[in-house]
Amino acid sequence: MKCTPQKLSFAVLYAICLNQAVAAESKTNDAQVDTLDEVKVNASADANAKGLMKPYAGGQVAKGGRVGVMGNQDAMDTPFSINAYTNALIQNQQARSVGDVLLNDPSVRVARGFGNFQESYFIRGYILNSDSVAYNGLYGLLPRQYISAELFERVEVLRGASAFLNGASPNGDGIGGSISLLPKRAPNDPLNLVTTGWSSGNQQFVSADIARRFGPDDSAGLRLNVSKRKGGTAVDREHVELDLISLGFDWRGENIRVSADAGYQDNKLNETRTNVTLSASSPAITGVPSAPASDKNWAQPWSYSNERDVFGTLRAEWDVSAQLTAYAAAGARHTKEANSLANLTLSNSSTGAGTMSRFDNIRDESVITGEAGLKGTFNTASIEHDWVLSTSAYSAVRKIDFAFQHSLNTNLYTPVYYAQPAFTGANAAPFDLYVNYEANLQSVALGDTLSLFDKRLLLTLGARQQNLKYINKNATGATTSQYDESKLSPALGMVVKPWQGISLYANYIEALSQGDTAPATANGSPVVNAGQVLAPFVSKQKEVGAKFDFGKVRLTTAYFTTEKPRGVTNTSNIFKQEGSEDHQGVELMTYGEVMAGLRLLGGVTWLDTKQKNTNNAATEGKRTIGVPDKQANLGVEWDVRGASGLTLDARVIVTDSVYANAANTLEVPGWTRLDIGARYVTDIKGKLVTVRGRVDNVTDRDYWASSGGFPNNGYLVLGAPRMVTVSAQLDF
């Protein structure tokens, strides 16, 4: 009988569960050592009086997280779906980036940006790019393409639209959800962690995580993280070098709390495998190519991508009285990028024939952002009010220059490598940065959560008035398009708690994004309003669900519908807001400790996506590019009885087929992946030592991991090959 990845995956999980069930019948005095290497952070990551939300049973997911301007909330008390993945999970799975952590989330699939190596995330079928990830509550402060896992204490996923809660995403995405990262803080006890390791491709890494508290009552804390990675990857000829340093500070006074963070990340990629674009003309691709060997690399030997970021935040809270708190936060980032790329455009799906062109670009980006507000509580009769008034501002300036030239033949399966072709003509001129993009966003939000009947009924009411300003310019400094629009975004939410441990919830909330820009031509003719930017797109979400807390296991179910407007060219060749991408789905998620030493994390998401009012019979009613009908995750951790300190884990990721074009004629096969790991915690001369090992893509499956991400594009990204990672951590 053939051992398929699916059969092997579930066989491993079944064996783990069976062994645990048998072992549970016998008596044991083994300590639960899985908690030994968990760092107990009691200081607040965002200068909040409530502090960091505590981990739920099992330690992989927190009890709640930041719900935008409404602050930290227990997941059972909020009318929204949220998961906050802990640093214990990040360490134990040896996650390297945000994308690695989100492999545990059944509502998320990791994709890649268009023409670069930026991590992107499909949440409920809508894309969110990595430069739209929030850091300590503020947008735009983290590295644009890759965010190293050593930076954060928590990865929080808030599913669904969030214009009221978080404000409009500066990049016009985030329709299906938002991601917020919380920086690390010094725990109450001194922390000295040093980790060193190795992964496939002879990549070596070392990191240090050091923290201390100072002053009267340990009111001040410092936490330093330093990390370096260098070497190859499991993909042939790829090379990575990453340098990271971050410093977090917090201070807790009697009625004032302050936190600050500064970070530096230098990420260098050489010969990184590119996306595969399927040619839409001359000739058009009629089928999806078979996935090549997972370690195959068609990148040109001279290609590289370098990104250097410096960023920081400052946040403070002041308790004016027992019922009133004032807060303010500010942050900034500066990024420098340089790339020399050669993406593959496929012209024949059977033979793998295609072309590549040299594309060099540089980028310089600066972001300044901040927020301020008041929050408090008061009672009216028997109703408790938890309210907030907030204002925010975001400003970004981007400078670029680029050159694109040459068309060289190559092949997906048997790549042809060239010496770097020289630019000629106007492209040969030295790069000269020019401002091509400016963004300024301002907003004011007011929200109130009303508690009735001894907090068995919670009503959330809110609205945010937002102003979006964008300017795009060309190399001569001339404005090519500009945008200045305002919109009021409401939100309604309700939580009903009929019995202990059960929360029924519903919400209506909107997302706000910049409207599309009219193209120059469509249907072979000039567009009447070419270059016009449409009014803001308002995406509307309705959601109902139920949350169950069984003490050590939580289960969440949700049904949602989201309508995202889009621009289409009508029969008069006028570009208007007429079409939409409508998603509806059902989510089922669980996490916790089902019995002593056995933890579960996972779920399944069913999605029904449709393109509507496209004015094109070939695409009308068809599925959205890159979104599967079903995706599921199941992760298991098992503390081996009779082997104190040893923990085994396994994770299965299942993704249905997706389409690579709007007409749904190019179907990308679904895939299943199995990851396994182990860790051993022991005491050596009074020092805690943790040894971890992990194998991702155990069966070395060849598969297309994602399709698309950039609007209306179905480019393919090959899944990573089998990767082995081992590390040793010393806590001294």
Mean pLDDT of 3-12: 38
Predicted confidence band at 19 (pLDDT cuts at 50, 70, 90)? very low
Mean pLDDT of 382-405: 96
Q: Is the pLDDT of residue 162 over 80?
A: yes
Q: Using CA atoms, how far apart are residues 171 and 126, in angstroms rounded to an integer?
A: 13
What are 463-511's pLDDT values in tens digits? 999 999 999 999 999 998 888 999 999 999 999 999 999 999 999 999 9
Assess contact for 258 and 46: CB atoms under 8 A.
Answer: no
CATH of 12-418+429-693+704-731 given 3.50.30.10, 2.40.170.20, 2.30.30.90, 2.120.10.30: 2.40.170.20
Q: Using CA atoms, how far apart are residues 152 and 223, in angstroms rounded to an integer?
A: 11
Q: Using CA atoms, how far apart are residues 126 and 528, in angstroms rounded to an integer?
A: 29
Residue closest to 585 by CA, chosen among 31, 51, 126, 61: 126
Question: Which structure tokens are listed for 663?
Answer: 């007409």
Predicted confidence band at 20 (pLDDT cuts at 50, 70, 90)? very low
- Please enumerate in sequence order all residues whose Cβ is within 8 A of that of 21, keeping only pairs 6 or more positions apart, or say none: none
Assess contact for 514 and 468: CB atoms under 8 A.
Answer: yes
Predicted confidence band at 45 (pLDDT cuts at 50, 70, 90)? low
Q: Is the pLDDT of residue 43 over 60?
A: no
Half-sphere exposure of 72 (CA within 13 A, CB side): 18
Residue-averaged pLDDT of the chain = 91
DSSP structure class, residue 162:
-
| pLDDT at res. 27 | 36
| pLDDT at res. 710 | 84
Q: Using CA atoms, how far apart are residues 710 and 702, in angstroms rounded to an integer?
A: 23
